[in-house]
Amino acid sequence: MERIIVCLKPVPDPKQWDEVSMDPETQTLIREGIASVINPLDKHAIEAALSIQGVLGGEVVLLSMAPPSAASTLREGLAMGADRAVLLSDRMFAGSDTLATAHVLAAGCRWLGDNDLIICGNMSIDGSTAQVGSQLAELLDLPNIMHVIDLDLGEDGSMVVTRKIEHGFARLRGALPLVISVRKELNKPRYTSFTGILAAESKEIKVLSNEDLKISPEVIGIDGSPTKMAGIELRRFERAREKLDGSVDEIVESLAGRIYQYGII
Amino acid sequence: MSGDMNGIWVFAEQRGGELHEVSLELLGKARELADEAGKKVTAILLGHDIRSLSQLLLNHGADSVLVGDDPRLKTYRLIPYARVMASLVHTYDPEILLMGATYMGVELAPRVAAKVRTGLSAHCIDLRLGEKGQLLQVVPGWGGGVIATIACPDHRPQMATVMPGIMKALSAIEREDTVKEIEIDLPEKGLGPEVLEVKREKPDQLPLEKAEVVVAGGWGIGSQEDWKMIESLAELFGGSVGATRPPVDEGWAEEGQMIGQSGKTVRPKLYIGIGISGVMHHVVGMDQSEHIITINSDPDAEIFDTSDVIVVEDFRKVVPKLIDEIRARLKK
């Protein structure tokens, strides 16, 4: 094994999502003061890479398209045990949809050279599109498998992967190089040790801009994204909110009455 | 002929010769959009020995079916399916392509979109037509707390995946229309991972998306033993049991029972939520239910904001008596 790439997305900490508000003028989300964390499923991707590295060697490289401030999030991944990180950062990338993002990540993969395995989290917790893994694979002309819940590496360089399907699973065998997207059932991400945190301080985070990657502006950023935002709103849930009062018996009587009215019984 | 097949496409997903429900739901929506825009609906059916499914697709709203029947398409494999879909898109140049946000669709749709270099939106909860035949794709983000509308103005087809259970299938009408076989042209090599084994089990409860009554429990249920109360109540209505994330993590409920952003979307006639705090992740999966009753001992539970009828009480006191009361009424 020469190199395993883990694609990593810094996401706003889900614990603070209640603090998101919207600017009614610009129709953009105000997310100031919300910390970034590693997308939860990407930790499972890092864990998978590290455990494969433990058996077959090679280096584990974290790859991310994000603003320069994401370096601290990448540092957390390095503290888990990844060897180095590459941060793809350029104003030209801002506003990229999933296809444009895949173009940027694909350029990052090519910049790194020959890669045996590229591992992504199955979806991000903020956008939740689950589209980038398949699109990255297509742009690199590599096969890919999503929804991965188990994997075994053969000595012949093949990989046997178990993926979820409706009400069951499928097992597949693929040759490397391969792109896989993993679910949380695959493994339990390791805890970061104090020595891991110390070691991460001296690990390299290489920042590349589009001067290094030279991607056509026509396929990246807001202008290069085929999908456009046509509107955004905070979701509101409005219901009658009628509170039933009285003794438990009265409440039960009243509940059964409603259920009867609804035509259920 | 192909002039009639460049309108709205629906990928008709089948596994083992069985059509996924979402395909019929998408046809229902496609029919509605096509009638509004004066376009035709075409279903794309790939597999082997699956021609008999085309009638079902026609009866549920397709004007025509493009059938790719080939032994190499019998079991779903991403690379061959993506190649065939992309070559069909190149040949017929459809305006819109809809696919289910299933395990298959979530993997296949982005690969197809990248192959033909067009836009794709994920997990749409609504689709509308905008100006100049634009497909407006309504998607949830940030755990569902934000709703965004996406368009794909300059690229075709306009692609979207839709969660199962959101669109309504039309009732079947016997129809005769066009079924057209397509040539499958695939190389010998480079078709990606081979499938070693496929194992599917019949779910032992009615799929959540189909249940008329969903009784869902959350962290507040507290134990496997009390979880049985949730199951008994659901059983009484012939309904299904749903859950939030914690009961799944605790092992009281199965992963497939999870409702919300990373689980199922349900729109039952009646949703009863018990011991559920009501985080956004869950609420976006149930807020379209017709009637919502919630029981929680915490008067400030967020779930109450999304409820028609609220009970602030310990469910251990209420639910057993409710079960008795319903049982008594059912006997009458």
* Mean pLDDT, chain B, whole residue set: 93
CB of A96 closer than 8 Å to CB of A224: yes
Q: Do B153 and A248 lie within an 8 Å CB cutoff?
A: no
Question: CB burial class (10 A; 0-12, 13-18, 19+) of residue B299?
Answer: exposed
Chain B, nearest residue to A250 by Cα: B318
Which of B109, B151, B306 comes nearest A239 by C-beta?
B306
| Residue B270 is assigned to a structural domain of this protein | yes
Cβ distance B8 to A159 under 8 Å?
no
Q: Is the peptide bond preceding residue A67 cis, with omega within 30 degrees of 0? A: no
The alpha-carbon gap from B188 to the nearest alpha carbon of chain A, in Å, equals 15
Measure CB to CB from residue B103 to each of A126, A164, A263 and give the nearest one.
Answer: A164
What tokens appear for B278 in the block? Answer: 């009501």
B275 is in an annotated binding site: yes
pLDDT score of A28: 67
Mean pLDDT of the region A207-233 = 95
CB B144 within 8 A of CB B106: no
Assess contact for A99 and A135: CB atoms under 8 A: yes
Residues of A in contact with B245 (CB under 8 A): none
**CATH code for position B251:** 3.40.50.1220
Among candidates B147, B213, B256 on the partner chain, residue whose Cβ is nearest the Cβ of A264: B213
| Distance separating alpha carbons of residues B284 and B293, to the nearest angstrom | 16
A260 and B329 in contact by Cβ < 8 A? Answer: yes
Tell me, what's the pLDDT at A235?
73
Residues B41 and B132 in one domain: yes
Q: What is the total count of domains within chain B?
A: 2
How much is the pLDDT for B2? 47
Can you give the C-alpha Rg of chain B in angstroms? Answer: 22
B325: nearest CA in chain A? Answer: A256
Q: Is B292 annotated as a binding residue?
A: no
Pairing of strands B64-69, B178-181: parallel
B28 and B115 together in one domain: yes
CA angle B129–B131–B119, rounded 5-degree value: 65
Q: Is B79 found in the same domain as B25?
A: yes
- In a domain? residue B21: yes
Task: For residue B76, report the phi and psi dihedrals to the nearest 5 degrees.
Answer: -60, 125
Same domain, B104 and B30: yes
| Pairing verdict, β B126-129 and B135-141 | antiparallel
Whether B143 shows a pLDDT value over 70: the answer reads no
Q: pLDDT tens-digit profile of B261-286?
A: 878 989 899 999 999 998 888 998 99
Structural domain contains residue B193: no
Residues of chain B with Cβ-Cβ distance to A147 below 8 Å are 103, 106-107
Instruction: With beta carbons less than 8 A apart as the criterion, state whether B163 and B263 touch.
Output: no
Query: What's the pLDDT tens digit per position in B205-239?
Result: 778 888 899 999 999 999 999 999 999 999 999 89
- Last residue of a domain, which of B146, B164, B181? B181
Q: Residue B93 half-sphere exposure, CB side, CA atoms within 13 Å?
A: 4
Contact B114/A134, CB-based, under 8 Å? yes
A3-224 belongs to which CATH class? alpha beta
- Say if residue B245 carries a ligand binding annotation: yes
Alpha-carbon distance B85 to B65, whole Å? Answer: 14
Same domain? For B21 and B146 the reply is yes
Two tokens, residue A77: 């991944």
- CB A76, CB A192: distance < 8 Å: yes
In this structure, are B166 and B236 located in the same domain? no
Does residue B1 register a pLDDT over 50?
Answer: no
In a domain, B192, yes or no: no
- The predicted-structure confidence for B105-137, as pLDDT tens digits, reads as follows 999 999 999 999 999 999 998 999 998 889 999
Interface predicted TM-score (ipTM) of this complex, two decimals: 0.90
Q: What is the largest CA-CA distance in chain A?
A: 72
Domain span including residue B264: 208-331
State the CB neighbour count (10 A cutoff) for residue B12.
30
Task: Give how far B145 is from chain A: nearest CA, Å.
Answer: 5
For residue B68, the model assigns a pLDDT of 96
Angle, helices B315-331/B224-236, rounded to nearest 10 degrees:
30
Q: How many Cα atoms occupy the beta-carbon half-sphere of B24 within 13 Å? A: 19
What count of other Cβ atoms lies within 10 Å of the Cβ of residue A251? 22
Answer yes or no: do B175 and B224 share one domain. no
Say whether both B216 and B174 belong to one domain. no
CATH code, domain carrying B59:
3.40.50.620
User: How close A216 gets to chain B, by Cα (Å)?
Assistant: 14
What letter represents residue B80's amino acid? P
Give the chain B residue nearest A165 (alpha carbons). Answer: B103
Q: In the A/B pair of chains, how many CB contacts fall below 8 A?
A: 243
A-chain residues near B278 (CB < 8 A): none
β-bridge pairing A117-121 and A178-182: parallel
**Any known ligand binding at B278?**
yes
Q: Tell me, yes or no, whether B97 and B214 share the same domain.
A: no
Mapping DSSP to helix (H, G, I), strand (E, B) and coil, where does residue A58 land? coil
**Three-class SS of residue B92?**
helix
Q: Is there a single domain that holds both residue B164 and residue B249?
A: no
Beta-carbon separation of B305 and A241 below 8 A: yes
Residue A142 to chain B, least CA–CA distance (Å): 8
Q: What percent of chain B clears pLDDT 90, i.e. is strictly above it?
A: 78
* A199/chain B closest Cα distance in angstroms: 33
